[in-house]
Structure 1
Amino acid sequence: MAPNKRGAAAKTDKENRPDLGPGEEPYDYASSVITKEEVEARGSGTQEARDTYDPRRPLLSELRVFFTGIMFLTRLPVPAWVDHHPAYLMRAVMWFPLIGATIGLWGAAWYNAATLLWPQPPALAGAISTLATVWLTGCFHEDGLADSIDGFGGGWGRAQILRIMKDSRVGTYALVGTALILQAKTGVLGALGPGGAAAALVAAHAAARWTALPLTYGCHYIQDEEDAKRGLYNWFAQSQRLLTPPRLAFGTLSTMAVVVLALPAAQALAVGATVLCMTVASAYYGHAVLGGVVGDYLGATIAVTELAIYLVLTADWAAVAARWQPLAVLAAAAAVPVIYTRRIIQVGGANC
């Protein structure tokens, strides 16, 4: 894993930016419907250079941290004195799992109501529940998922991937990939049924968002002075030290509590193993290809991990135990591009 840039300088340099390949230019926001200035203006508080967290008033300061997490992950209204201050946002990462559990409860309420009104087809309840949760979150993680699919699908090398991920326009890879993932999600939610979907939604939304804690804490957060959101994310990268071990522990323990309370012991263990595997795989792949992580990549990890949890909970493990050979072949085939990731990227002209 790349070294953590804790306490980095306030200003980034060329070594910390995504290098452009021959003939490549930074993304031109003039061709976008939304201008660069409009994107920058959306995040109130992102340009604040001082950390105003007051340890002498921990309850009030922590309340602002919590509301910052609510503002960042959902469309719920928050007090007027809350903004996107990166120092508060970094501390708020510890609240992501509990906020995710709340989002899961919202989705579960819609799922149960939909199954009562429309018992068939089962996937309809999954679609309605998914629509409810993406409305509540403003398609936040799905946006990161789409950008990441576009970047990794269309980019050949680190610089191209990062440049495509910054592009606000949706490409073919993003459209097809996101549609298929959402279709799979609605399908497996329908397969879980009224007896299992509600608990799975709460556990999955909490556990998937836990991945942001270790990835933010342990991975290098890529900074880019050309990004329209640099005021938020570059400050965010420089304040990684504010996600302290106690905050990491709180987020982990709260995630474990939600999963254990929501699911039977065997399923809770399966969810825990799934989340750990997804986190390790995401950290490895992000470091190997990008040299770290970025916000869109974290969002994609959350979205894919949520789907992976549903797949694990609906899998027929008895059939797997009886006939495991097809899965072994699939695992071997899937490992090939991962093993040769560095060589592939180097051939493409990037320097990992």
Structure 2
Amino acid sequence: MREQLNILFSAIQFLTRLPVGRWITYDPGHLTKSVAYFPVVGALVGVLGAAVIAVMSLLVPPVLAVLFSMIATVVATGAIHEDGLADTIDGLGGGHTRERMMEIMKDSRVGSYGVIALWFSLTLKFVLLNELLTRDLWLAAGGLMLAHMLGRSSTVVLIYRYPYVRTEPGKAPFIVDSMTTPRLFLSLSFTFLFSVLLFGWKAFFVLAVASIATWLTGRHVNRRIGGITGDTLGAANQIVELSVYLALLMQANYLTLVALIWKYFSPVILKWI
């Protein structure tokens, strides 16, 4: 049990800026096994965002509650996924060869493509969360937990499915090389159970949308550079997170439409029956 806690805290230490205690030290052995806990870390970040949006919605207007929630999750993760999105779009948008794309992604400077991608991503996230919050607090709070968890789950799937194409030393190769089928199964089992716990049968549509977003992102990146990098995993995380918010909003609008149709046409339908 203590070893598993060490592995979990290694995942938290790797993916976030959250304090994990001085008794946790960097251990490549624990880090290589931590990939299975990525969705758990995502759920924890989502819980933080949900707590902030729930508390702040009692004190300030919805738009500010959403803004504070976004700030909290960005601070908690150190914006590593947003950085990955910016670098990925810079590389894919500005490079015409695989080598040039990889070179641009490695550059610490953010280009125009990356800035535009970040602006659209953060704006869309803000708008979608605000729409969810105005409909129901649980849609926004539960959506934050679900989206952050599924975002990290997508990275697990992509790590399992595609080769890591960078050759430079670092922590990422340790994690990618350690991915096994049992760890994938453990990770996705937690993802599925937690999703159903949060939203019941409604989670199935969201899971389908997130799966499609993961598949499309992985397929496109693999076609362009022949595999994945840490930056492309961050980009996938952000894309899947946005797809979850969008799926929840689409589902809410659909159910509202069905309820309205039933309200006004049920007397006629029941009469015919």
Bin for the TM-score computed over the shorter chain? 0.7 to 0.9
Task: Find out whether 1:174 has 2:114 as its counterpart.
Answer: yes
Q: Is the 8 A contact 1:105 1:202 kept in 2?
A: yes
Aligned to 2:261: none
Is 2:21 the partner of 1:69? no
The 1-side partners of 2:76 and 2:190 are apart by 22
Q: Deviations over 1:147-206 (max 9, x none)?
A: 111111211121111101000111111112101110110111010112410111111111
Question: Does the alignment pair 1:250 with 2:183?
Answer: no
Whole-angstrom distance in 1 between the partners of 2:28 and 2:223: 26
Amino acid in structure 2 at the alignment position of 1:197:
A
Letter in structure 1 aligned against 2:52: W
Indicate how the Cα distance of structure 1 residues 159 and 83 shifts in structure 2: closer, same or farther if over 3 A, else same. Answer: farther
The 3-state SS of whatever aligns with 1:177 is helix
Is the 1:105–1:201 contact (alpha carbons within 8 Å) kept by the matching residues of 2?
yes
Which of 172, 175, 186 in structure 2 is aligned with 1:233?
172
Distance 1:320-1:179 versus aligned 2 partners, 3 A rule: farther
Per the TM alignment, residue 79 of structure 1 is displaced from its structure 2 partner at its CA by 3.9
Q: Whole-Å Cα distance in 2 between the matches of residues 67 and 286 of structure 1?
A: 30
1:194-273 mapped onto 2 (5 Å cutoff): 194-225=137-168, 230-237=169-176, 240=177, 242-266=178-202, 268-273=203-208
3-state SS, counterpart of residue 118 of structure 1: coil
Match of 1:293 in 2: 228
Contact 2:85/2:118, CA 8 A, preserved across alignment: yes
Distance 2:73 2:214 in 1: 22
1:223 deviation in Å?
2.4
Counterparts of 1:45-194 in structure 2, within 5 Å, are: 59-80=1-22, 82-119=24-61, 122-193=62-133, 194=137
Distance 1:260-1:236 versus aligned 2 partners, 3 A rule: closer
How many Å separate the matches in 2 of 1:263 and 1:318? 14
Q: 1:320 to 1:178 in 2, by over 3 A?
A: farther
Amino acid at match of 1:270: F
Change (3 A) 1:223 1:197: same
Contact persistence 1:123–1:191 (CA under 8 A): no
CA distance in 2, matches of 1:123, 1:162: 38
TM-score, length basis structure 1: 0.68
Tell me how far apart the structure 1 counterparts of residues 180 and 63 of structure 2 sit (CA, whole Å): 41
Matched residue SS, 1:76 = coil
Kept after mapping to 2: 8 A contact 1:86/1:233: no
Alpha-carbon spacing, 1:215–1:79, altered in 2? closer, same or farther (3 Å): same
Shift of 1:303: 0.8
Deviations 1:71-111 (A, max 9, x none): 01111222445444444323111111111111111001111
Correspondence for 1:304: 239
> Relative to total residues, which structure has the larger helix share, 1 or 2?
2
Give the partner amino acid of 1:96: F
Structure 2 spans left out of the alignment, 5+ residues: 259-273
DSSP 3-state at the match of 2:58: helix
Counterpart of 1:4 in structure 2 is none
1:202 match: secondary structure: helix
Gaps of 5+ in 1: 1-58, 322-352
2:248 equivalent in structure 1: 313
- Give yes or no for contact 2:52–2:68 (8 Å, CA) kept in 1: yes
Are residues 265 and 154 of structure 1, via their aligned partners in 2, closer, same or farther at CA, if it must alter by over 3 Å? same
Contact 2:31 2:174 survives alignment (8 Å): no
CA distance in structure 2 between the aligned counterparts of 1:160 and 1:319, rounded to whole angstroms: 48
What residue is the counterpart of 1:12 in the other structure?
A: none
Question: How many pairs align?
Answer: 253
For residue 313 of structure 1, give the secondary structure of its aligned residue in structure 2: helix
Q: Percent identity?
A: 38
